[in-house]
Amino acid sequence: MIKFDKLDYPKNGNKIEIKDGQLIVPNHVNIPFIEGDGTGKDITTAMRRVVDAAVEKTYKGKRKIEWFEIFAGEKALALYDTRLPEETIKAIEHFIVGIKGPLTTPVGEGYRSLNVAMRQKLDLYNCIRPCKYYGAPSPVKNPEDMNIVIFRENTEDVYAGIEWEKGTENVKKMRQFIEKEYGIKLPEDSGIGIKPISEKCSKRLVRAAIQYAIKNSLPSVTLMHKGNIQKFTEGAFRKWGYEVAIEEFRDFIITEQELLEKYDGKMPEGKILIKDRIADSIFQQVLTRTKEYSIIATTNLNGDYISDACAAQIGGLGIAPGANIGDNIALFEPSHGSAPKYANQDKVNPSAIILSAVMMLKYIGWNEAGTIIERAIRKAIKEKKVTYDFARLFNINKELKTSEYANELIKNIIKES
Ligand code: NAP
């Protein structure tokens, strides 16, 4: 058994194993969780209560989650003197599947993102963010048209953290190098960042997106990029994306060009359409032609932007779940941040982390428990028993606290026939 320094190995339950590439999930399973900063405590507590109720209702004691707290962010700083202890990474690697609340990152100064560091250290290269309508009030006319899963590359792009601040010795060296080697003179008062986009990381992301489309019988995968301007990074992502599609999935896909040239614009039965869109254009397309998009596979920064924009159409960040998945390890988390201004007010919407847990339940094969939670959320929204964010959109005065909303979901789960 693995030894931890400050964590007590769970006394009950068993860990998930991987055998021949398949997850072996025990009925009494250990799941590590990170509470998160800011509103993390409120939403993670709500999530665990709702998940426990759904698992109990569905499996009547035959299956159970043994939650196991591990630490990052403020809580880790207090316990380990660092915000991202190695032991936390080790625990996620060991237990294979985990869930986390949001972690704070200061803007423009201070320490680098712990979220990004975790994704990079654990090589969780797919960030999967489904945007599906659960009946929440929405600023658009047909929010039910939104059913898009975003596959965001999670390890490189400008998130690689390679940048130098204006006025430092490092930025000066970089400027001199660029001028000497490439004859390009940059303004003395600039900061410089580097955007690496690799063939390997682009291809594995697009590969996972197409595999997901095949597994879930989805109609299309759209490569989102800014390749008209950033030709050798974003443009290359597009090129490598098509290469993966054609070289590895020839029998499953057709490209948009083939659709027009060979099929007269009529989609052949059972094939997945691979198309691409320039980033700026797709922001209006997801609003005006929402139904035409099913999976969007994209680079890291584009993925961050487009997932929040899609979430806005289905009620906002309060209901936007996500997962970070690598070859073996999966770490589920909401799309939103720690919303520090609402910390410890028992106020924010826990649906995003609860739906992240639904993704986790489905990932480990406990689909029925996940589905029962989704129904509970739909019912609560339909009855306008919601937290402040949806109450604001519904234009009603009555809003539930985070914990009251969790109570409502648990009530719905228990009442299920
Ligand atoms: P944020 O925490 O996502 O909050 C932005 C706004 O989104 C909130 O003010 C609130 O809008 C709405 N919102 C967020 N969570 C919500 C919830 N659970 N229920 C209802 N509404 C919710 O973004 P931020 O303020 O830009 O970032 C705060 C910190 O989180 C930063 O340090 C950032 O780096 C970090 N962050 C972490 C992650 C992560 O852990 N993966 C992701 C993103 C950001 P209203 O005020 O309009 O109600």
Pocket probe for ligand 1: among 336, 348, 401, 403, the residue whose CB has the most ligand atoms within 8 Å is 336
Options 304, 385, 388, 405, the catalytic residue: 304
**111: annotated active-site residue:** no
SS3 call for 206: helix
- Which residue's alpha carbon is at the smallest distance from atom 17 of ligand 1? 318
DSSP state of 81: S
What distances in angstroms separate CA 157 from CA 173, 242, 332, one per listed residue?
Answer: 22, 19, 21
Options 133, 134, 159, 405, the catalytic residue: 159
CA 322, CA 22: separation in Å to the nearest integer? 21
Q: What is the pLDDT of residues 337-392, one digit of tens each?
A: 999 999 999 999 999 999 999 999 999 999 999 999 999 999 999 999 999 999 99
**159: annotated active-site residue:** yes
Of 297, 403, 353, 373, the C-alpha closest to 54 is: 373
CA 9, CA 293: separation in Å to the nearest integer? 44
**389: annotated active-site residue:** no
User: pLDDT in tens for each of the 417 residues of the chain?
Assistant: 788 999 999 999 999 999 998 999 999 999 999 999 999 999 999 999 999 999 999 999 999 999 999 999 999 999 999 999 999 999 999 999 999 999 998 887 778 889 989 998 999 999 999 999 999 999 999 999 999 999 999 999 999 989 999 999 999 999 999 999 999 999 999 999 999 999 999 999 999 999 999 999 999 999 999 999 999 999 999 999 999 999 999 999 999 999 999 999 999 999 999 999 999 999 999 999 999 999 999 999 999 999 999 999 999 999 999 999 999 999 999 999 999 999 999 999 999 999 999 999 999 999 999 999 999 999 999 999 999 999 999 999 999 999 999 999 999 999 987
Write down the pTM of the prediction: 0.94
402 lines ligand 1 (CB under 6 A): no
Residue 342 alpha carbon, nearest atom of ligand 1: 9
Residue 351 alpha carbon, nearest atom of ligand 1: 18
Tokens of 2: 């693995």
CA 352, CA 349: separation in Å to the nearest integer? 7
Tokens of 309: 């924009």
CA 19, CA 399: separation in Å to the nearest integer? 47
